[in-house]
């Protein structure tokens, strides 16, 4: 079973969530917890009163949920009984198509997922509203429902073929990112990379995403929205002519050697040696692009529903997260004091102050639950709270229980114990608990282990 869980996890496109246990016999009421004010309270909520989020990946859970409201109701009840309070439903997978009402893009017709017989195409034949089903069933159980989107992707290429708007629409295909690869600048559509990213710098891309967010924000009964993959594809993205011109505007002069003055061809991680003369300005510029977009996205959501909670899901590895162009810290946190890759100006482009809620992927090994550094679950959460400096009122973190042991180094029993231990380690270090993904708890039948961790919070 453990091996099957990991195979299922490989089909997930990426890159997260805790509160007092709800007993099986309790009435389906909204959990007794109020969203904090933008300014943090001087006395934090008791650990047992903090929210607990579980993520529902679209593709991995599609075999169960694509055509069955009954299965949705069944698994939401399991989540509630385990002690989760908040459900995060992926409604725009990496294909870029939608599982919610929108005029911006087509509805999802099929997704690839792992079945016992292998990676297979799961078709959606149902006509009922996928997101609305979660909202309706969640309301019956007293669960808060949040919607998540894969922000800057527009297609996905797998062994089943290409799916998504960039494979159907030449205009949208023209928005895809150009990568600085070893063999030269190459459009992502000419590579075998699975998730086909747009170029986040393009205004038309940003408005396209904002139009979807306005449609999403119109749902009654929705608690919040999380943006996943609200970033560049990686360190090699984006090196298009348009982005070059925008960068030159940012620095106020032409780049003599493009892309050499920014990043060596094919360099994918870390600061190269010798360091290119424009690299740190490039890191600033990309973070500014993403902060500016997040401000636009927040405004788009709030103009439709001011009370909707706006947030992001990011990886906790801040020390290297600059390679995707994101500064998710507070603008009051000076990264240059801790990291040589950051300039003093980099802190201006932190975006935690634009968020009502953040999910931190505390994606450490099951052997590294406790600690104070990155690549421990507890450390990821503690550092996230320090780096957001209270600018975001709710920061929740937790493990990826399916992808955390890719080499099968620990037994299933050790993994089960780590699931339980992760709850207190993460929830004590930040404002809530976050678990990725529901499919893992289902495939390995680990509900009881997370429940044990959540139940223990109330015993303290």
pLDDT in tens, 318-336: 999 999 999 999 999 999 9
Lowest-confidence segment of 22-31, 60-69, 171-180, 203-212 by average pLDDT: 22-31
pLDDT at 420 over 80: yes
Q: Which helix (H) or strand (E) covers residue 92, if one does? A: strand 86-92
Distance CA(35)–CA(50), nearest Å, equals: 10
* Domain membership of residue 213 as a residue range: 2-458
**pLDDT at residue 458, rounded to an integer:** 81
Dihedral sign from CA coordinates of 349, 332, 51, 359: positive
Distance CA(50)–CA(433), nearest Å, equals: 8
Q: Which helix (H) or strand (E) covers residue 427, if one does? A: helix 412-427
Judged by DSSP in three states, 312 sits in strand
- 8 Å CB contact between 372 and 378: yes
* CATH code of the domain covering residue 412: 3.20.20.80
The band of 43, judged by pLDDT with boundaries at 50, 70 and 90, is low
Structure tokens at 162: 């290409």
Distance CA(341)–CA(24), nearest Å, equals: 50
DSSP designation for 125: -
Going by C-alpha positions, the residue among 120, 134, 237, 230 that lies closest to residue 188 is 237
Structure tokens at 253: 């002069």
The values of phi and psi at residue 185, to 5°, are -70, 125
The values of phi and psi at residue 155, to 5°, are 180, 165
pLDDT at 16 over 50: no
The band of 459, judged by pLDDT with boundaries at 50, 70 and 90, is low
**pLDDT at residue 22, rounded to an integer:** 29
Q: What is the mean pLDDT of residues 139-155?
A: 98
Query: Residue 275's Cα: distance from chain center in Å?
Result: 30
177-221 per-position pLDDT tens digit: 999 999 999 999 999 999 999 999 999 999 999 999 999 999 999
pTM of structure: 0.91
Distance CA(187)–CA(239), nearest Å, equals: 9
Distance CA(369)–CA(375), nearest Å, equals: 9
Dihedral sign from CA coordinates of 27, 28, 31, 34: negative
Residues forming beta bridges with residue 115, ordered by sequence position: 118
Q: Which helix (H) or strand (E) covers residue 150, if one does? A: strand 144-150
pLDDT at 3 over 60: no
β pairing state of 178-181 and 309-315: unpaired
Structure tokens at 456: 């223990």
Going by C-alpha positions, the residue among 385, 400, 369 that lies closest to residue 432 is 385
Judged by DSSP in three states, 331 sits in coil
- Number of folded domains in the chain? 1
287-316 per-position pLDDT tens digit: 999 999 999 999 999 999 999 999 999 999
Q: In degrees, to the nearest 5, what angle opens at C-alpha 455 toward C-alphas 454 and 457?
A: 70
């Amino acid at each position: 079973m453990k091996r099957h869980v990991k195979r299922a996890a490989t089909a997930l496109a990426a890159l997260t969530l805790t509160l007092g246990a709800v007993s099986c016999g309790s009435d389906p009421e909204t959990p007794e917890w109020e969203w904090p004010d933008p300014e943090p309270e001087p006395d934090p909520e008791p650990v047992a009163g903090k929210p607990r989020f579980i993520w529902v990946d679209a593709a991995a859970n599609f075999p169960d949920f694509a055509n069955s409201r009954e299965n949705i109701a069944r698994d939401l009840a399991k989540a509630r009984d385990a002690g989760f309070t908040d459900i995060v439903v992926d409604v725009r997978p990496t294909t870029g198509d939608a599982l919610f009402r929108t005029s911006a893009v087509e509805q999802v017709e099929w997704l690839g997922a792992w079945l016992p017989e292998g990676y297979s195409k799961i078709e959606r034949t149902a006509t009922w509203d996928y997101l609305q089903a979660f909202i309706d069933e969640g309301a019956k159980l007293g669960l808060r429902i949040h919607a998540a989107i894969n922000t800057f992707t527009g297609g996905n290429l797998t062994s089943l073929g290409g799916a998504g708007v960039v494979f159907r629409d030449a205009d949208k295909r023209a928005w895809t990112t150009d990568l600085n690869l070893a063999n030269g600048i190459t459009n992502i559509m000419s590579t075998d990379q699975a998730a086909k990213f747009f170029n986040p710098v393009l205004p038309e891309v940003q408005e396209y995403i904002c139009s979807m967010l306005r449609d999403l924000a119109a749902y009654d009964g929705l608690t919040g929205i999380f943006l996943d993959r609200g970033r560049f594809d990686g360190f090699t993205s984006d090196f298009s002519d348009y982005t070059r011109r925008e960068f030159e505007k940012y620095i106020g002069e032409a780049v003599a050697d493009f892309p050499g003055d920014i990043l060596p061809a094919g360099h994918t991680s870390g600061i190269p040696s010798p360091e290119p003369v424009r690299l740190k300005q490039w890191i600033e510029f990309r973070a500014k692009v993403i902060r500016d977009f997040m401000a636009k996205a927040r405004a788009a959501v709030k103009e439709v529903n001011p009370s909707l909670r706006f947030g992001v899901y990011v990886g906790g590895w801040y020390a290297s997260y600059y390679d995707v162009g994101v500064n998710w810290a507070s603008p009051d946190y000076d990264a240059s004091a801790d990291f040589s890759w950051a300039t003093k100006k980099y802190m201006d482009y932190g975006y935690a102050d634009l968020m009502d809620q953040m999910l931190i992927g505390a994606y450490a090994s099951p052997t590294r639950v406790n600690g104070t550094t990155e690549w421990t679950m507890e450390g990821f959460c503690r550092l996230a709270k320090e780096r957001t400096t209270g600018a975001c009122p709710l920061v929740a973190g937790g493990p990826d229980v399916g992808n955390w042991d890719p080499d099968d180094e620990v037994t299933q029993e050790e993994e089960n114990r780590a699931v339980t231990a992760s709850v207190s380690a993460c929830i004590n270090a930040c404002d809530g608990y976050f678990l990725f993904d529901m499919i893992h708890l289902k495939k390995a039948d680990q509900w009881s282990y997370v429940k044990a961790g959540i139940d223990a919070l109330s015993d303290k």
